[in-house]
Amino acid sequence: MMGPGDDLDSLSKNNDHLGVLRYIRAHELRESEKVIQHGQALLGEQVKNSKFGLRDEAARSAALEQICLAAIDIDNHLLAERCLEELKQTSTGGAISGGGKNKDGSLVKDSDRYRRLLGRCLEAANDYEGALLLYEKMLKENPSNLIALQRKYCILRQQKSETTGGVTPMNVVLEALNEYLGQQLSDVSGWYEMSQLRLSLADFKGAAYALEQVILGSPLDADIHRELGEVYATIGGVEYSTYARKHMAQALELDPTNIRAQFGLLCVANQYLDESKSSSKKNIDEHERLVAKELVKYGADSVSKSYKGSKDPKMIATVKRVIDDYTENLE
Amino acid sequence: MVDKGNKDSVIISPEVFALMAAHAASHPTTAIHGVLIGNRNSSTNKVDVTDAFPICHENPTKPLVETALALVQSNLEGQQQQNNDKKSCIVGWYTAPELLYEKKPGPVALRIVAGLAAASSEDNDSSSSSSSSGEPVLLVLNNEVMVNLLAEQEKVVASKVVQAYGKDFGLQWMEPLDLTVSNESGAVKAVSAIFNEKVNVNDLVDHWDEGASSEWTSASRISIC
């Protein structure tokens, strides 16, 4: 039985196979080979062993589900199929509960949980049409089924289009992701995926909006601030250059050793000076320009310090020339 | 615009081919981008790509591209001072799409190469030199063909892995250009060797992530046996 002081190595050493599976599940680790090794030690090579070491069907079903997902992760479709067969057979047709379990805890064959697993196996076997049909059926029964929405987007994102021979049209992919985010507004990973999709389409304003949602969920992530700063700088204009400067400075505040943010600050602060110079607006705050100049100098200093320890003299000289280009024309 | 009679043709060195393929293989789940260095023969419209710098394995933004181009240009100046060679310049951009079935360049790569063209024409206007770098070229890797090359499933010709594009009548970089890889067999062997030995190509973003002491791999650092 897994205790609070146990770790994966001690559980493996003690041959606590069920403990290993539980540990990996609880800590959300991706250790597919270990799961299969300990899963087969627990349930046999053919995963048919129903009595060894397991007290109830719930634990057996959970182990089978975990082994099935691990099997498709390492391309072992035979083992995944065996796990699905075993899960089908453990279904005793008892009362269907909300989690898709029988009274004894085993999975019910046509429950959402079983169908989600089946869908993943179909995807792994490249039967995307079958998987999509399954997810569409699940969504018809429950339009806010988040896993089905998520998997539907993932399939459309990478699927080859039969009509064009290329990839699925982007409007279809965007609609699928919008549908998911409409149901799950707080999913930071979903918003980040939206930002990357928008960036790939060169829709920088859309990407900036999505990254703003990510920052609401992860305000202390330096890389997200840096990325948002870069996107605002790409949009251009005095107003967006100001936002770019602020987010890049925030990124360095959170992680002063981030070289990409150091170069980024140098670039966006310099861009602000260029944009404000050529802007038709007459009320550009001179204080803001002074701040931008100081930020250029700060960025240049930070980059110089970062490259001081480099053993490549060519790289040091290359970086020095770039920094000099940025700083020598500052008034 | 491209005059069909005077279309550019591109020759890439085996080191550049190996670098592009290895860069894509190092980051199989994302798009990759990099800069091409070489020289152009205006009389024969041949673009000779002799070096390449991998930039990123994500969708690049303006600050990243600007900084990367500034670093590459500065590196070229350093080499030119050392070797007294003024011929090499930035001649284009390379990319590999994110998805296996995508064959066309994405909007980001097209914007970048258009930006390179605009910057190059500004430099030509202000420069007193009679030589020009001309329009940049865009090289796009075909992921499906490259997978076959790495799996050695069939005899794959290296020049089929990469498609070159020049500016078309719509001012987009969608005009296919002729491309050859000098020393095709050497290039294929080098790519297979790099892939089998799991040699990682460090692009500029990797170099920044790992620290200033880490390598920024370029084509000139790859040796073809």
Q: What is the pLDDT of residues B197-212, one digit of tens each?
A: 877 899 999 999 999 9
Q: Is residue B71 less than 8 Å (CB to CB) from chain A?
A: yes
> Which of A202, A267, A321 has the CB atom closest to B107's CB atom?
A202
Distance CA A286, CA A166 (A): 51
* 3-state SS assignment for residue B168: coil
- Set of chain B residues whose Cβ sits within 8 Å of the Cβ of A230: 61-64
Residue-level pLDDT at B2: 46
Mutation choice for A interface testing from B35, B57, B59 by most A CBs within 10 A: B59
Between A3-7, A272-276, B19-23, the lowest mean confidence (pLDDT) is in A3-7
pLDDT in tens, B99-149: 888 888 999 999 999 999 998 887 766 654 444 457 899 999 999 998 888
Q: What is the mean pLDDT of residues A284-313?
A: 91
The residues in A 37-76 lying below 8 A from B, measured between CB atoms, are none
Most confident of A203-212, A322-331, B155-164: A203-212
| Whether the predicted pLDDT of A160 surpasses 70 | no
Q: How many Å is the maximal CA-CA distance in chain A?
A: 81
| Whether the predicted pLDDT of B1 surpasses 50 | no
A163 domain-assigned: no
Domain count, chain A: 2
Q: Is residue B69 less than 8 Å (CB to CB) from chain A?
A: no
Residue-level pLDDT at A199: 95
A159 domain-assigned: no
Q: How do the domains of chain B map onto residue ranges?
A: 4-221
φ and ψ of B78, to 5 deg: -60, -45
Does B78 sit within 8 Å of A230, measured CB to CB? no
| Whether the predicted pLDDT of A91 surpasses 70 | no
Residue appearing with tokens 């897994």: A2
pLDDT in tens, B76-99: 998 888 776 667 899 999 999 998
For A310-327, give one letter per residue: b (16+ CB within 10 A) or e: eeeeebbebbbbbbeebb
A130 domain-assigned: no
The residues in B 153-182 lying below 8 A from A, measured between CB atoms, are none
How many angstroms separate the CA of residue A158 from the nearest CA in chain B? 6
Does B111 sit within 8 Å of A202, measured CB to CB? yes
The residues in B 83-122 lying below 8 A from A, measured between CB atoms, are 98-104, 106-108, 111
Token output for B203: 């692009």
**∠ Cα A242 A244 A250 (to 5°):** 105
Q: What is the mean pLDDT of residues B29-52?
A: 93
Does A234 sit within 8 Å of B213, measured CB to CB? no
| Whether the predicted pLDDT of A27 surpasses 80 | yes
Same-domain status, A6 and A120: yes
Residue appearing with tokens 């615009």: B1
Please give the ipTM for the structure prediction. Answer: 0.91
**Which residues, in sequence order, are CB contacts of A3 under 8 Å at separation 6+?**
none
Distance CA A263, CA B116 (A): 20
Between A261-275, B128-142, B183-197, the lowest mean confidence (pLDDT) is in B128-142
Residue-level pLDDT at B92: 96
Residues A258, A246 contacting (CB under 8 angstroms): no
Residue A272 structural domain: 220-331
pTM, to two decimals? 0.87
Q: What is the mean pLDDT of residues A325-331?
A: 81
- Set of chain A residues whose Cβ sits within 8 Å of the Cβ of B74: 318-319, 321-322, 325
A27 domain-assigned: yes
Q: What is the CATH number of domain B4-221?
A: 3.40.140.10
CATH of the domain at A278: 1.25.40
Does A315 sit within 8 Å of B216, measured CB to CB? yes
Residue-level pLDDT at B222: 74
Q: Is residue A274 less than 8 Å (CB to CB) from chain B?
A: no
- Set of chain A residues whose Cβ sits within 8 Å of the Cβ of B98: 200
| Whether the predicted pLDDT of A53 surpasses 60 | no
A241 domain-assigned: yes
Interface A-B: count of C-beta contacts within 8 A:
97
Between A184-198, B167-181, B210-224, the lowest mean confidence (pLDDT) is in B210-224
Residues B161, B21 contacting (CB under 8 angstroms): yes
Residues A245, A229 contacting (CB under 8 angstroms): yes
Does A264 sit within 8 Å of B62, measured CB to CB? no
Between A140-144, A157-161, A187-191, the lowest mean confidence (pLDDT) is in A157-161
Q: Taking CA atoms, what residue in B is nearest to A227?
A: B61
- Set of chain B residues whose Cβ sits within 8 Å of the Cβ of A267: 62-63, 66-67
